[in-house]
Structure 1
Amino acid sequence: MATARDLFEAVPPDRRRQLTDLAREVSLPRATRLFEEGRRADRFWIIRSGQVALDQHVPGRRALVVETLGRDELLGWSWLFPPYLWHLGAQTVGPVEAVEFDAASVRALCDSDAVLGRAMYRYVAETVADRLHGTRTRLLDLYGPQGVEPDD
């Protein structure tokens, strides 16, 4: 489930330049491993084209894909919350074009500019809430009662 708006739309217009100054365009080939669960979260991306699979380690098995992200979606939010460790792993499904940000630089910018910081935290919180809602819906589809009439 995509967030309601793009990161750059979430930031007040007079603060966008500060954020774009920290951005860099990247091209990622198919099957590029971007991060691993439990490792240091030192950057994040806004996907411009292509898809990235988020996966979770399952002991004794291959990592299980839990969600696939695409155009204009935020890839990575663990960089914003201590202890700054990835909660999942991520790998490109095909070629991906993205905007990449250095997490420490963006955190420092958020700390120095309360307006921009509030906008970033709100954007990430909305993203997490949207994804949690999507996860709950998928869980209900998988494990919810099938064909049960609602209580009146």
Structure 2
Amino acid sequence: MNTAQHGFLAALAPAHRDRLLGYAREVAVPGGARIFEEDGYADRFWIIRSGHVALDIHVPGRRAAVVETLGQGDLLGWSWLFEPYRWHLGAQTRGPLAASEFDAARVRTACREDPAFGLAVTHEVAAVVARRLKATRTRLLDLYGSAGAAETGRAP
């Protein structure tokens, strides 16, 4: 399936999608590779063409918790757009990965130079942030809390 026909790219108007793709370079990442670490500098982002990436969060005293798994068409990384440009999660491939990689500074510059393009990209990244926040919250409640405790605000 063409990643421009679904996922993050499909949400952009054709002119904005084409402009963004003009900044892409194709990369291949082996299975099991750490793509980025929580709190590392977010200087790039990816749109997954094939393969899967697990997003994880550090949990003190425990193994990192996988909060979501991304696949074809998904945007990997949003922290590059918002200061202080630090990753909020970690990411590791679940097998071989093919992706379009973008230099964050170049895309941020393009967003500043063309406000319509910048608004479109920012809007779609913000939609991803909102979905990921909800997914992370749900996953952490599944892992570490009970529904009743979450509703009352009390720890399990």
User: Which TM-score applies when normalising by structure 2?
Assistant: 0.81
* Paired residue secondary structure (1:135): helix
Q: Which residue of 2 aligns with 1:116?
A: 117
- The one-letter code of the counterpart of 1:46 is I
Q: Which structure carries more relative contact order (alpha carbon 8 Å, separation 6+)?
A: 1
- The one-letter code of the counterpart of 2:146 is Y
Q: Which residue of 2 aligns with 1:144?
A: 147
2: CA distance, partners of 1:55 / 1:132: 13
- The one-letter code of the counterpart of 2:55 is L
Moved over 6 A (4+): none
Is the 8 Å Cα contact of residues 46 and 99 (structure 2) preserved in structure 1? yes
2: CA distance, partners of 1:61 / 1:133: 22
Q: Per residue, is there more helix in 1 or in 2?
A: 2
Cα distance, 1:17 vs structure 2: 2.9
2: CA distance, partners of 1:58 / 1:140: 13
Cα distance, 1:8 vs structure 2: 2.6
User: Which TM-score applies when normalising by structure 1?
Assistant: 0.83
Q: Spell out, residue by residue over 1:95-152, the C-alpha distance to the aligned partner (whole angstroms, 9 max, x if none).
A: 111111010010001011111101101101111112223334445656214xxxxxxx
Residues 59 and 132 (structure 1), Cα distance of their counterparts in 2 relative to 1, 3 Å cut: closer
Q: Which residue of 2 aligns with 1:70?
A: 71
* Paired residue secondary structure (1:15): helix
* Paired residue secondary structure (1:98): strand
Q: Which residue of 2 aligns with 1:33?
A: 34
- The one-letter code of the counterpart of 2:135 is G
- The one-letter code of the counterpart of 2:7 is D
% identical equivalent positions: 60
Q: Which residue of 1 aligns with 2:152?
A: none
Residues 134 and 55 (structure 1), Cα distance of their counterparts in 2 relative to 1, 3 Å cut: closer
Is the 8 Å Cα contact of residues 67 and 139 (structure 2) preserved in structure 1? no
Is the 8 Å Cα contact of residues 11 and 116 (structure 1) preserved in structure 2? no
Count of equivalent residues: 142
Is 2:9 the partner of 1:14?
A: no
Could you list the runs of 5+ residues in structure 1 that have no partner in the other structure? 146-152
Cα distance, 1:11 vs structure 2: 2.6
Is the 8 Å Cα contact of residues 49 and 99 (structure 2) preserved in structure 1? yes
Is the 8 Å Cα contact of residues 10 and 120 (structure 1) preserved in structure 2? no
Is the 8 Å Cα contact of residues 24 and 100 (structure 1) preserved in structure 2? yes
2: CA distance, partners of 1:97 / 1:132: 25
* Paired residue secondary structure (1:37): coil
